[in-house]
A and B are shown apart, each in its own frame.
Chain A
Amino acid sequence: MHLPEGFIAIVKQDCPTCVLVDPVLHSIEGSGLSLTVYVQDEPDFPSSSRVVDDRSLETSYRLHIETVPTLIKIEGGQERARVIGWERDEWRALTGLASLGSELPAYRPGCGSLSVQPGIAEGLAIKYGDFRLQSRALAVPTLTDDIEYCFERGWSDGLPVVPPTAERVYRMLQATTRAANEELGRMPPLLTACTVEKVAINAVMAGCKPEYLPAVIAAVEAALDPAFCLHGLLATTWFSGPMVIVNGPARKAMGMNWTGNVLGQGNRANASIGRALQLTVRNVGGGKPQETDMSTFGHPGKLGFCFAEDEDTPWTTLAEDRGVPRGRSAVTVFSADGPLGCADQKARTPEALIYSLAGSLRGLNHIHMVNAADAVVVIGPEHGRVFDLAGWSKADAVAALHAATLVEGVDLGMGTAPGVTAKNDKAMRHKFRAGGLTLVRAGGPAGMFSAIIPGWLVKGELGTDPVTREIRS
């Protein structure tokens, strides 16, 4: 960038301090010093003779101007010093003019530069900065609605997406310190490189605020862990899709919901984080329904399934159980079908509640299915209180549920119940594998209910295991 020798001032008419110092600028010029005035709004405003129209804000952006007026001394094409706002002594020192601005007050703060105004700064960074996206740019044909265009390109899950413009993707990427071209892994089924940039574009489309991006990235990383077996999960004929549970301070920072209607609609973070993961799978990996996604039924949560845990209970949190200490934030991904309700309004003892929960759990998948799908049980506050008042820990409840969920095993032809044959039919066996029951706390304050969320039938080494990842900035 070529800068004129001498002094340059950056001003705007819409700034009382700039209006105040206009005669001062004029007198700098009158004293024989070389002065160029860059004006951000009205080119006719400055009374100086050498005025440069900077309504494009390019010079303001390149000089990192945050406040107007700013006076800069240029020597040999380089900036030597600058003063910001109106501070008489500083202006006098910089210009060497001892009586400069005698008629003005000694100090007046400046105003915000137009180049750092929200909504403008992003556009300047894209236009003049070094922000470059690797993804190809597609021009929406004239007269074509941009949201309709996204549908036509096959980018949508069936609901409108937010069109991923450069400004939106730029703002999204500002929420992470990670490089846009960092590869998080290969996204099945096409095993395409899944970069931070691709995740950001899909997060824009899902409706995420930029501050959700670190959680979305963590969820994508967790889903790409081989232990989660994302390829099989997205391709299976079974109902399941990925579900994200969020723990730690990030829940509050993002304004997530862990109370009323926790598994339902209405909270932007809950809704859009889960959707961003699924859109990333769909778009980057190409995992689309009736194509690679062969699910017979699917379920509504495949649009996106994400919620936060209620951590204000005596129990350890999900993230703590999985090795992330309190005070740090994490996501855990599970395979998940839709939730099933379990009601018991009369249980006042843990034993009575275990009886009810176990009864509901025994029927999952099939009443005679042993080594059935893993299940997450979301204990509602009014059920949780029954355990808490009796001093039961989460481990106590899990152990009791395993003991109370023995079923008569039958070979159902699924290949998921090794050892069960026609010969030994009806032997009592564990419904769930060790570690296959996960209890978390969430839900609204009223209702003696809990929610059971079964997962994919194929789990463990052959299939899916839950995976936890810390949320990093």
Chain B
Amino acid sequence: MTATLYDPTGEFAPLQRAPLAKPATLSGLTVGLLDISKARGDVFLDRLANLLGAQGLTVKRYKKPTFTRPAPVELLQQIASDCDVVIEGLAD
């Protein structure tokens, strides 16, 4: 059953949560590249890694065990600990 809860706040926050603000520049940030294990995702991400590396950015690579399931919590925590921004390859 879907629960209905009553807002305890001053109700300034929108019903839908806004995504985090995008950084104005990648300069000095660590970029994570997450391969979700879809076919040929690595081709795209390899090229991105080259381009970002050429800008002098720190790039870290991650891979989900399978695209069929959400990423393991350990992986999410590792990415959140290591990186400022993340690029996720979502499709073939």
Which residues in A have some Cβ–Cβ distance to B below 8 Å?
A: 133, 135-142, 146, 149-150, 152-155, 163-166, 169, 187, 190, 192-193, 198, 201-202, 205, 279, 283-286
What is the chain B residue whose CB lies nearest that of A155? B8
Distance in angstroms between the alpha carbons of A286 and B9 in the assembled complex = 8
Distance in angstroms between the alpha carbons of A152 and B13 in the assembled complex = 12
Contact call A202/B8, Cβ cutoff below 8 A? yes
Contact call B2/A135, Cβ cutoff below 8 A? no
Interface mask (B29-51 → A, CB under 8 Å = 1, otherwise 0):
00000000000000000000000
Q: Which residues of B contact A138 (CB under 8 A)?
A: 4-7, 15
Contact call A192/B2, Cβ cutoff below 8 A? no
Tell me the smallest distance from the CB of A399 to a CB of chain B, in Å: 45
Determine which of B6, B10, B11 lies in contact with A133 in the assembled complex, contact meaning CB atoms within 8 Å.
Answer: B6
Q: Which of B9-27 contact A (CB under 8 A)?
A: 9-13, 15, 17
What is the chain B residue whose CB lies nearest that of A199? B8
Q: Which residues of A contact B8 (CB under 8 A)?
A: 135, 155, 164, 198, 201-202, 205, 279, 283-284
Distance in angstroms between the alpha carbons of A136 and B16 in the assembled complex = 13
Tell me the smallest distance from the CB of B76 to a CB of chain A, in Å: 15
Contact call A139/B13, Cβ cutoff below 8 A? no
Determine which of A152, A164, A187, A193 lies in contact with B6 in the assembled complex, contact meaning CB atoms within 8 Å.
Answer: A164
Q: Which residues of B contact A201 (CB under 8 A)?
A: 6-8
Main secondary structure of the interface of B (DSSP, over half): loop
Q: Which residues of B contact A136 (CB under 8 A)?
A: 6-7, 11, 15
Distance in angstroms between the alpha carbons of A230 and B7 in the assembled complex = 22
Q: Which residues of B contact A152 (CB under 8 A)?
A: 17
Most chain A C-beta atoms within 10 Å of own C-beta, residue among B6, B7, B11: B6
Contact call B10/A149, Cβ cutoff below 8 A? no
Tell me the smallest distance from the CB of A387 to a CB of chain B, in Å: 44
User: Is the C-beta of B73 less than 8 angstroms from some C-beta in chain A?
Assistant: no
Given A190-B12, A192-B12, A286-B12, A135 and B7 contact (CB-CB distance below 8 Å)? yes
User: Besides A137-B7, A192-B10, 19 other CB < 8 A contacts?
Assistant: A133-B6, A136-B6, A136-B11, A137-B4, A137-B6, A138-B4, A140-B3, A140-B4, A141-B2, A150-B5, A153-B9, A155-B9, A163-B3, A165-B3, A169-B6, A187-B10, A198-B10, A283-B9, A286-B12
Q: Which residues of B contact A165 (CB under 8 A)?
A: 3-6
What is the chain B residue whose CB lies nearest that of A149? B5
Which residues in B have some Cβ–Cβ distance to A below 8 Å?
A: 2-13, 15, 17
Q: Which residues of B contact A166 (CB under 8 A)?
A: 4, 6
Q: Which residues of A contact B12 (CB under 8 A)?
A: 190, 192, 286
Tell me the smallest distance from the CB of A462 to a CB of chain B, in Å: 27
Distance in angstroms between the alpha carbons of A136 and B8 in the assembled complex = 9
Contact call A142/B6, Cβ cutoff below 8 A? no
Distance in angstroms between the alpha carbons of A136 and B13 in the assembled complex = 12
What is the chain B residue whose CB lies nearest that of A285? B10
Distance in angstroms between the alpha carbons of A136 and B5 in the assembled complex = 8
Distance in angstroms between the alpha carbons of A286 and B8 in the assembled complex = 11
Contact call A139/B6, Cβ cutoff below 8 A? no
Contact call A164/B5, Cβ cutoff below 8 A? yes
Given A192-B12, A286-B12, A139 and B7 contact (CB-CB distance below 8 Å)? no
What is the chain B residue whose CB lies nearest that of A145? B3
Closest 9 CB pairs of A and B: A192-B10, A201-B8, A283-B8, A140-B3, A135-B6, A283-B9, A146-B3, A135-B7, A136-B7
Most chain B C-beta atoms within 10 Å of own C-beta, residue among A136, A154, A187: A136
Q: Which residues of A contact B7 (CB under 8 A)?
A: 135-138, 201
Contact call A153/B6, Cβ cutoff below 8 A? no
What is the chain A residue whose CB lies nearest that of B15? A138
Q: Which residues of A contact B15 (CB under 8 A)?
A: 136, 138
Tell me the smallest distance from the CB of B40 to a CB of chain A, in Å: 32
Distance in angstroms between the alpha carbons of A198 and B3 in the assembled complex = 19
Tell me the smallest distance from the CB of A10 to a CB of chain B, in Å: 29
> Can you pick out 21 interface pairs between chain A and chain B where the beta carbons lie within 8 Å of each other?
A135-B7, A135-B11, A137-B6, A138-B5, A138-B7, A138-B15, A140-B3, A140-B5, A149-B3, A154-B13, A155-B9, A163-B3, A164-B5, A165-B3, A165-B5, A166-B6, A169-B6, A193-B10, A283-B9, A284-B10, A286-B10
What is the chain B residue whose CB lies nearest that of A163? B5
Contact call B11/A139, Cβ cutoff below 8 A? no
Given A138-B15, A152-B17, A283 and B3 contact (CB-CB distance below 8 Å)? no
Q: Which residues of B contact A279 (CB under 8 A)?
A: 8
What is the chain A residue whose CB lies nearest that of B10? A192
Distance in angstroms between the alpha carbons of A42 and B12 in the assembled complex = 48
Q: Which residues of B contact A198 (CB under 8 A)?
A: 8, 10
What is the chain B residue whose CB lies nearest that of A193? B10
Q: Which residues of A contact B17 (CB under 8 A)?
A: 152-153
